[in-house]
């Protein structure tokens, strides 16, 4: 039996762009996987992103004398392919911005899909004017210079209680942020697409006036049950 070739990152990102974080969270529940990030949120209305992660970890303090003085985030932009999502672990710090306007401009020009930052961001208006999606805990004017430095790029990080490795997929929208492990992203997408189809059916029923108590009955409550609780053909019971 010939195995199916692995989907490209661009193909996976395109499928994810048609799904929202809520249905992806439900799919994670079905598969009993973590992945819902708490803390970072969209810093301008309508921001949305989906793509594979390029990771950055920041640490409090100043550059060591042996370190090459490159501003935080610059290496990640240089490593990013078009469509990448830069994920910055600043340990939830909100007293300074772990990302700013010049970085947003450079990332936007490089085709980066957006940034998710566990901490504060500055120059939010500039990101909005660029249409560059930024998800962070809040906005703040204070610079990160001589307050934090880039500890690593490309290593696993933790944002909002979720571990993110380079290449994992990140999706963010007005409801929040989810992280999907690269090894299981196709499985998660498949579950989410099935859920989204069920939800579209329920929207149609509500639109024609069917009673909400019927549409959102017992079947709705079991939609995120594990597979063992589904019927023989994989439907929710």
pLDDT tens-place values along the chain, 237 residues long: 455 667 899 999 999 999 999 999 999 999 999 999 999 999 999 999 999 999 999 999 876 655 556 788 999 999 999 999 999 999 999 999 999 999 999 999 999 999 999 999 999 999 999 999 999 999 999 999 889 999 999 999 999 999 999 999 999 999 999 999 999 999 999 999 999 999 999 899 999 998 998 888 867 666 777 654 454 444 443
In this structure, is residue 22 part of a structural domain?
no
Same domain (yes/no): 138, 74:
yes
**Element (H or E) spanning 160, and its range?**
none
Same domain (yes/no): 176, 208:
no
The reported pLDDT for the residue numbered 78 is: 97
The reported pLDDT for the residue numbered 236 is: 44
In this structure, is residue 14 part of a structural domain?
no
The reported pLDDT for the residue numbered 228 is: 47
Q: Which domain holds residue 192?
A: 187-229
What is the 3 state secondary structure string of 9-34?
Answer: HHHHHHHHHCCCHHHHHHHHHHCCCC
CA angle 37, 40, 46 (to 5 degrees): 110
The reported pLDDT for the residue numbered 106 is: 98
The reported pLDDT for the residue numbered 68 is: 57
In this structure, is residue 173 part of a structural domain?
yes
> What total of structural domains would you count in the chain?
2
Same domain (yes/no): 204, 124:
no
In this structure, is residue 158 part of a structural domain?
yes
């Amino acid at each position: 039996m010939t195995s199916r070739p692995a989907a490209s990152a661009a193909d996976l990102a395109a499928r994810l762009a048609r799904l929202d974080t809520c249905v992806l969270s439900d799919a994670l529940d079905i598969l009993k996987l973590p992945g819902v990030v708490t803390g970072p949120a969209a810093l301008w209305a309508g921001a949305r992103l989906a793509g594979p992660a390029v990771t950055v970890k920041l640490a409090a303090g100043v550059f060591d004398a042996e370190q090459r003085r490159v501003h935080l985030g610059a290496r990640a932009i240089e490593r990013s392919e078009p469509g990448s999502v830069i994920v910055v672990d600043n340990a939830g710090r909100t007293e300074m911005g772990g990302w700013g306007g010049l970085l947003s401009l450079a990332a936007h020009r490089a085709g980066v899909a957006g940034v998710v930052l566990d901490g504060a961001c500055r120059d939010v208006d500039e990101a909005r004017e660029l249409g560059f999606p930024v998800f962070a805990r809040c906005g703040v004017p204070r610079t990160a210079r001589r307050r934090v430095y880039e500890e690593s790029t490309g290593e696993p990080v933790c944002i909002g209680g979720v571990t993110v490795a380079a290449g994992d997929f990140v999706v963010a929208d007005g409801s929040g942020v989810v992280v999907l492990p690269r090894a299981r992203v196709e499985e998660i997408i498949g579950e989410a697409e099935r859920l989204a189809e069920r939800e579209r059916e329920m929207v149609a029923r509500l639109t024609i006036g069917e009673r909400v108590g019927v549409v959102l009955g017992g079947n709705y409550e079991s939609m995120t049950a594990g597979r063992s609780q589904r019927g023989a053909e994989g439907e929710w019971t």
